[in-house]
Structures are given as structure tokens and as C-alpha cells.
């Protein structure tokens, strides 16, 4: 069944066999079929939930130290196979090899970090009259993690690692286009000694396998990363069962450059903020807001910075930007580069096979143009001028999204004022960093609901139980 990947076939221990429906996985850089995987049905989902619930009971009953030890073994297994996982990510997602190695390492680090929280997931004792009041943090049960194709490994781990650490079982549904690293991670979990059924991967279509997970009555929480439109539908379906949900959705993040900033550094850094992962990043700073006094200078500096980005074979160490994930995504990106938008800067892209699109910077559009307000999810940015601090904040907040953003200024007071004024969950001053596994991540407005990562990650997968014990004489 699988033509090249040995872990994606009907004999895989973490997916059911005998499926009438299968899905082909393409290499986006070459368009070749690299694997065929079975697509889970609602019956498969139901059987997986039953296995997961059974495994979760024993997992939650383990001593915290034993649960932590097994998660560390899982992290070690990932580390031992880091290059294999990275190469798999290159082939199924088109990520440059340097990025893919970081992503595999991020899975390892998340598991280590989550393991460190197992023995620290403590309740509290609250002073009350007439007795003793204590709280417990208890696992939810079975958690569904629906991961996207843009960062298949790390985002899958964002939900999976803390959920497992908190004592839950996890059912992971990867995106249809990128199931291979998820399947391999499930194998490594078993090899590391995690109980059978505790962490299962269910490849398949969103409207089939994904919907079955969301609607299953024994799934206690859904963690979804993807488009805002799909997130809204999942939230509505979860409402019917009062089911917990964490949503990490779209973004249209601003990169705000004030006249007092280090303009050379801001321009040199800008390409990485919207071209990383070929722009397929919900944190992409695809709206570059530049104070009018330095606008022309910034654009002069931005052009060579964009053109210097190396685009090509993702397997080559020097490549900084690979292909888009699919032909459909390429057409979507292309639809935003319209005749009424002036192309100020355009990079290079390989010809021939593969879903390539050049780095593109647009200017001369208004702040309400669809390229300036909609999430493009490709290597396209719009540059807009602003007059002063108030104007910058107004433009930054003129969007339904609020995930991330950057602020470039040498004025510490301004950095703090603008950081407080911009409605976004993750902001960087004089940098473009958004995500660290030891700090919280999530969005304002239609960019999502809840927070992932950071010190509170495990608690997000628990219920708080309050117990009062009377000490009064009867």
C-alpha cells in the first residue's frame, strides 16, 4: 500500500486495517506520491475512543513519577530519531531541513517540559472555617487533538504532551496532507513504553474522522489548530455537549516599524517574519506598518533582504524557503495578488514541478483591501504607511484577528504603550519571536480561545475538584 514510507500502511499498529478509503500523501516540492495511508471512519474513531478510555484509567492511576519517566523515555525516543522525523517532515510538508530539525527537537523539548510538570500538578489547601478545604486537579479523560498541516509535528505536540502529562489519553487527527510524522511519533510512543491505546493517530478527512472525534460523547476536550471558519464550526459542535475546547485559529499580524527604530535591522529581519514556512504560519507578520517618515528608506532596504532569501530544494541545508503545501493553496495565494495591488518586490521561485510561489511584497493598497485584512497563508505581505503612534495602533487593530505581532522602536515607553494597546496574544519588541514552549501562546478575538504551552499547559487538561472536610465535633 505504501510506496516509500514503511510506517504508513494498513499494518500500522495505530490505525485500523482494511479501509476502503485511502489517502495519498504528496511531496509538495516534487508532486510525487510518497505514501498512501488509510482514512479513518466513524467506526474507527469509536473503537479508538474505547481503547483510549481503557488505557487512560490505568495511566491516570500511575504514580506521577512513573508517568513522568515514561514521557521522558518518549522524549528520548524522539531525540534518537530526530533526523528521521525531520527528513519525513521535509518530504511530506516541504519544510527546509533546518526548520524540520528544529520542529522535531521542539517535540522532544515539549515532552521533556511536560514531564517536568507531572509531579508539580498540585491542588491547593484553602483556609475555611469549620474544616479543611482541598482541591484536586483531575484529568479530563480522552482528549482529541486536531493538528494542522503547516507545522505538523510541533503543533501536534502542543496538545498531546501536556494532555498526556496531566493523565489523559490522546487521539491525534493529523491533517490529510501531513499524517506521516504523526504516525511515526505514535510508534515511538509505544516503543518508549506508553500503554497501548493511550496515544493513537487517526489519519483521515476532517469532515469524517475529525467530525466523529468532535461529536463523540466520550471525548472530553477538543484541541484544534486551523482556520477560523472551521474553528467556529467545531466550537458550535462542542457546545452541544458542553465540551471543552481550545482553538488556535487564524492571524493577520502586524509588523510595526516606528521612525525611531533601527531601520536596517527591522528591514533585514522582516522577510523572516512573513516568509518562514513559506508564509504558512498563523503568526506571519503579513501586514508591515511603517511610519511615513522612514517608509521609502525601509522599502529600499527591504528589497535586497527579500531577494536574498534562498528558495529551493527543502532537503538542501542552505534553503530558507520551500514550496507551498498544495496546488490549491498556491491558487489561493495567487488570488490575492490582483491588478489593483502594486507588486513592489518579487523574489524568485523554481520552475517546473512543485507548488512554488515567489516571495511577494504589495504596496499601494488601502487598509481594507482583502490582501490587507484576510489571512493569505503564503509568502505575501502588504506594506502600509502610518502617521503616528495612535495611527499605528488603529491600523494594527483594524482586523478580526489578534494572534501576534512585532513592534520596532528604541523608545521603551512607546514599546510598553503599544504592546498594551495592540489587541494580540503574543507580541515581540525588536524581534519576531512568538512561540516558546515555556511561555503561554494563544490569540485575541477570532484568533482563538484559550492558551497553550507555558506553565499552565497541564492545568488546561484537568478538572478542578473542590473537597470540604468538616472538622466540627458531631
Kindly report, residue by residue over 146-181, the tens digit of the pLDDT. 999 999 999 999 999 999 999 999 999 999 999 999
Q: What share of the chain has pLDDT > 70, as a percent?
A: 96
Question: How many CB atoms are located within 10 Å of the residue 36 CB?
Answer: 17
What backbone torsions phi and psi does residue 327 show, to the nearest 5 degrees? Answer: -65, -35
What is the overall mean pLDDT for the chain?
Answer: 94
CB 450 within 8 A of CB 460: yes
> C-alpha dihedral over 406, 409, 412, 413, to 10 degrees?
-90
Confidence tier at 8 by pLDDT (50, 70, 90): very low
Looking at residues 453-458, what average pLDDT do you find? Answer: 97
CB 282 within 8 A of CB 403: yes
Place of cell 495591488: 341
Q: Which residues pair with 125 in a beta bridge?
A: 134
Helix axes 97-118, 152-165, angle to 10 degrees: 10
> Which set of grid coordinates corresponds to residue 393?
495602533
The total number of residues written for the chain in this structure: 474
CB 231 within 8 A of CB 247: yes
Question: What is the model's pLDDT at position 10?
Answer: 30
Question: What is the model's pLDDT at position 433?
Answer: 84
Alpha carbon separation from 292 to 167, 386, 387, 406 (Å, rounded): 53, 6, 6, 17
- Runs of H (alpha helix) within 42-96: 42-61, 64-80, 82-93
Q: Is the dihedral of CA 6, 12, 13, 15 positive or negative?
A: positive
Q: Which residues pair with 253 in a beta bridge?
A: none
Looking at residues 340-367, what average pLDDT do you find? Answer: 95
Q: Which of 89, 92, 248, 363 is catalytic?
A: 248
Q: Which of 103, 238, 282, 375 is catalytic?
A: 282
pLDDT tens column, 204-225? 999 999 999 999 999 999 999 9
- Runs of H (alpha helix) within 260-377: 263-275, 295-307, 327-334, 370-373
Q: Please confirm, yes or no, whether 283 is among the known catalytic residues.
A: no
> Hey, is 52 helix, strand or coil?
helix
Lowest mean pLDDT among 62-66, 322-326, 363-367, 462-466: 363-367
pTM: 0.94
Nearest partner of 264 among 410, 367, 384, 395, judged by Cα: 410
Question: What is the model's pLDDT at position 341?
Answer: 86
> Which set of grid coordinates corresponds to residue 456?
499552565
Is pLDDT at 4 greater than 60 in this prediction? no
Confidence tier at 340 by pLDDT (50, 70, 90): confident
Is pLDDT at 97 greater than 70 in this prediction? yes
- Which strand ranges, in their side-by-side order, compose the sheet holding 199-201? 199-201, 169-173, 142-146, 219-225, 244-248, 448-449
Q: Please confirm, yes or no, whether 238 is among the known catalytic residues.
A: no
> Which set of grid coordinates corresponds to residue 91?
518530504
Strands 342-346 and 287-291: unpaired
* CA separation for the pair 249, 270 (Å, rounded): 23
Amino acid at each position: 500500500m505504501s510506496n516509500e514510507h514503511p510506517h504508513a500502511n494498513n499494518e500500522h499498529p495505530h490505525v485500523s486495517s482494511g479501509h476502503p478509503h485511502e489517502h495519498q500523501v504528496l511531496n509538495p516540492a516534487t508532486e510525487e506520491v510518497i505514501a498512501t495511508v488509510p482514512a479513518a471512519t466513524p467506526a474507527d474513531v469509536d473503537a479508538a475512543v474505547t481503547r483510549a478510555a481503557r488505557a487512560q484509567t490505568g495511566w491516570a492511576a500511575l504514580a506521577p513519577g512513573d508517568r513522568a519517566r515514561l514521557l521522558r523515555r518518549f522524549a528520548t525516543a524522539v531525540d534518537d530519531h530526530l533526523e528521521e522525523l525531520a527528513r519525513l517532515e521535509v518530504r511530506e510538508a516541504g519544510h527546509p531541513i533546518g526548520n524540520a530539525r528544529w520542529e522535531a527537537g521542539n517535540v522532544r523539548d515539549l515532552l521533556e517540559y511536560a514531564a517536568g510538570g507531572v509531579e508539580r500538578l498540585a491542588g491547593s489547601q484553602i483556609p475555611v472555617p469549620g474544616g479543611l478545604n482541598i482541591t484536586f486537579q483531575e484529568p479530563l479523560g480522552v482528549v482529541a487533538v486536531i493538528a494542522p498541516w503547516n507545522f505538523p509535528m510541533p503543533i501536534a505536540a502542543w496538545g498531546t504532551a501536556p494532555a498526556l502529562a496531566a493523565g489523559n489519553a490522546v487521539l491525534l487527527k493529523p491533517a490529510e496532507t501531513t499524517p506521516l510524522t504523526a504516525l511515526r511519533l505514535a510508534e515511538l510512543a509505544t516503543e518508549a513504553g506508553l500503554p497501548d491505546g493511550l496515544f493513537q493517530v487517526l489519519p483521515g478527512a476532517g469532515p469524517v474522522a475529525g467530525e466523529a472525534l468532535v461529536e463523540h460523547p466520550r471525548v472530553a476536550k477538543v484541541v484544534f489548530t486551523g482556520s477560523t471558519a472551521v474553528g467556529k464550526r467545531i466550537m458550535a459542535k462542542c457546545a452541544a455537549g458542553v465540551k471543552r475546547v481550545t482553538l488556535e485559529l487564524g492571524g493577520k499580524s502586524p509588523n510595526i516599524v516606528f521612525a525611531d527604530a533601527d531601520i536596517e535591522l527591522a528591514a533585514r529581519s522582516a522577510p523572516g517574519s512573513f516568509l518562514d514556512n513559506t508564509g504558512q504560519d498563523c503568526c506571519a507578520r503579513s501586514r508591515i506598518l511603517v511610519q511615513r517618515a522612514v517608509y521609502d528608506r525601509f522599502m529600499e532596504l527591504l528589497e535586497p533582504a527579500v531577494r536574498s532569501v534562498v528558495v529551493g530544494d527543502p532537503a538542501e541545508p542552505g534553503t530558507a524557503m520551500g514550496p507551498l503545501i498544495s496546488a490549491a493553496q498556491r491558487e489561493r495565494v495567487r488570488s490575492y495578488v490582483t491588478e489593483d495591488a502594486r507588486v513592489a518586490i518579487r523574489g524568485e521561485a523554481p520552475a517546473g514541478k512543485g507548488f512554488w510561489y515567489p516571495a511577494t511584497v504589495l504596496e499601494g493598497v488601502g487598509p481594507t483591501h482583502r490582501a490587507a485584512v484576510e489571512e493569505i497563508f503564503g509568502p505575501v505581505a502588504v506594506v502600509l504607511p502610518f502617521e503616528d503612534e495612535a495611527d499605528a495602533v488603529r491600523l494594527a487593530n483594524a482586523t478580526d484577528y489578534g494572534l501576534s505581532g512585532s513592534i520596532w522602536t528604541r523608545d521603551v515607553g512607546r514599546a510598553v504603550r503599544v504592546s498594551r494597546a495592540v489587541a494580540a496574544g503574543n507580541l515581540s519588541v525588536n524581534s519576531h519571536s512568538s512561540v516558546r514552549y515555556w511561555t503561554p501562546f494563544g490569540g485575541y478575538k477570532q484568533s482563538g480561545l484559550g492558551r497553550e504551552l507555558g506553565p499552565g499547559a497541564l492545568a488546561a487538561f484537568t478538572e478542578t475538584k473542590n473537597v470540604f472536610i468538616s472538622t466540627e465535633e458531631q
